[in-house]
Structure 1
Amino acid sequence: MTDSTSLPVEIQRYLAATADPLPDDTPIERLRFVALDCETTGTDATKDAIISMGAIAVIDGEIRLEEEFEALLKIRHNTSSVVVHGITAEEAARKGVYVEEALTRFLDYLGNAVIVGHHIGFDVEVIQRACLRNFGIELNNRWIDTMELTLHLDDVGAIEAMRRSVGGTASPFQDFSLDGLCRRFRIAPHDRHTAAGDAFITAQIFLKLLRLAQRHDRTTLGALAERWVDPRDTEEAGGGSQK
């Protein structure tokens, strides 16, 4: 077990802030959300590294532009992911910081906020592994996946009702990607595939989803963070047990 007194003071502050997990019944209005995105060297959280991190706070239904975070990290070599995010190893070596510094700054910024992101489970796992590797600590924050929240709201007809309320004539919504949500909510995807850009886009989408969630009685942290289970999986599991 890591002796917390030997850790940087910023990490000690983070551990103190997250010592008591936020309960499920915490009302939305009492929460600080942080929309987060990481660009990485690949899609395998067990071995790929963080290249850049971008985050921005959402408090009281507003995006706080003054509360943003961005970091470029040093990486050892290029991978095919450079085609997506455009960050070369040379640029990262010249402008980036070491992972320990980036994590120290990020965790101090994050505090006890609720992490928000699209398919955020991957980002959380990558950061969690980096925290364990560099400081021997856990990433203790609760998190909300905007993809899963969208699917919950779609299940109760909230997305379709919104389309009809604005006079939409398109076919029922099926594209749950970040780009698809941008189109659905009429959000301009500026700086797409950059960590800071995707974090800001996600924050805008999250605000739209948050308003829909409140109209459908999802007004607590537990309701927003509920994992989504594909009903087809449940049906197949039930069918299989009857054979």
Structure 2
Amino acid sequence: MWHLGRLCAFDLETTGVDVEADRIVTAAALALGGGEDGEGHEWLADPGIDIPAEATTVHGITTERARADGGPAETVVDQVAGFLAVQVRDAVPVVGHNVPYDLTLLDRECRRYELPTLCDRIGETPLYVIDTRVLDTHALPYRRRPSKGQGARQLITLAQVYGLSWDEGAAHGCAYDALVAARVAYRIGQLAHMPRADWPEAIQTARRPRFHELGGLDLAELHSAQITWAADQAAGLEEHFRKTDPGAVVDRSWPLRPWVETITEGALA
């Protein structure tokens, strides 16, 4: 069962939301589960640029703190990619929430500093990913926003849906968010492999749950399924956006946006 093996929970906090141009501020990679002791690593980087106030509001790291306490960005990026590569080569899947953001930004950071990317480092070893946003959207496709200020697929919402604790003071720290994503993945895996009669009432009464489609898959099969599900979800989101913006485009790639040198090389300056 894919949720019972070793997992590598991964999350970044950054200078912004543009994967082609923004920088890593903090990173966490936590190897856990599978009957082995946990191994966790956290990094604070000096991104080499000012951290916008909007980003500091989210993760709490100021430019001054990053410059005083952060490691050189190139060193941090190399260490993060190196740790993930070790896990992937050991057949450990990378787990996170909205993983394409984190993996793509890490890829661009490696290219910025002319370091081997994660894909370079693992060679022919398959990269398996478990994305809680994709799994949750597929398993429970019909969910309204809990409130005007809280999205239906935010990590806090998933914690609430799957009966997990949530510490708002620790949230948006990359280690905490990575750990919660791993717990959500584990809970989804449990539900996928148990009889429907044993589900919590809130899950049983949800509209058209599809947890059974996640059960009985190995990691390769789950990864392949997520490629399809993520593309379908992006297409649906694009259709929704086009009701108000006819030119809206939602990227369908998963779990990593392809590198297009002619478009993105200027962002790496």
TM-score normalised according to structure 2 size = 0.63
Structure 2 unaligned runs (5+)?
120-126, 144-150, 195-211, 240-269
Select the residue among 56, 63, 68 that pairs with 1:94.
68
From 121, 124, 134, the equivalent of 2:100 is 121
Which has the higher mean CA deviation after the structures are superposed, 92-101 or 208-217?
Answer: 208-217
Alignment of 1:184-203 (within 5 A): 184-190=161-167, 191-203=170-182
On the 8 A contact 1:34/1:115 being kept in 2, the answer is yes
- Shift of the alpha carbon at 1:189? 2.0
For residue 129 of structure 2, what is the aligned residue in structure 1? 143
Contact 2:82 2:118 in 1 (8 A): no
Highest RCO, 1 vs 2 (Cα 8 Å, sep ≥ 6):
1
Matched, 1:81 2:66: no
Q: Is the 8 A contact 1:37 1:198 kept in 2?
A: yes
Residue 230 of structure 1 corresponds to: 233
Instruction: Report the Cα distance in structure 2 between the residues aligned to 1:51 and 1:231, rounded to whole angstroms.
Output: 27
User: 1:49 offset after TM fit, Å?
Assistant: 0.5
Within the candidate set 106, 109, 127, 1:130 is matched to: 109
Residue identity matched to 2:134:
E
Equivalent residue number for residue 8 of structure 1: none
What TM-score do you get using the length of structure 1 for normalisation?
0.69
- Say if 1:149 and 1:224, in contact at 8 Å, map to a contact too: no
Structure 1 residues 182 and 233: alpha-carbon distance in aligned structure 2, compared to 1, 3 A threshold: closer
Q: Does 1:70 align with 2:70?
A: no
Q: Percent identity?
A: 27
Deviation at 1:63, TM superposition (A): 8.4
Backbone CA RMSD of aligned residues: 2.8
Cα deviation for residue 78 of structure 1 reads 2.4
Task: Report the secondary structure of 2:159's partner residue.
Answer: helix
Count of aligned pairs between the two proteins: 191
Which consecutive unaligned segments of at least 5 residues does structure 1 have? 1-26, 160-173, 237-243
| Aligned partner of 1:179 among 156, 159, 182 | 156
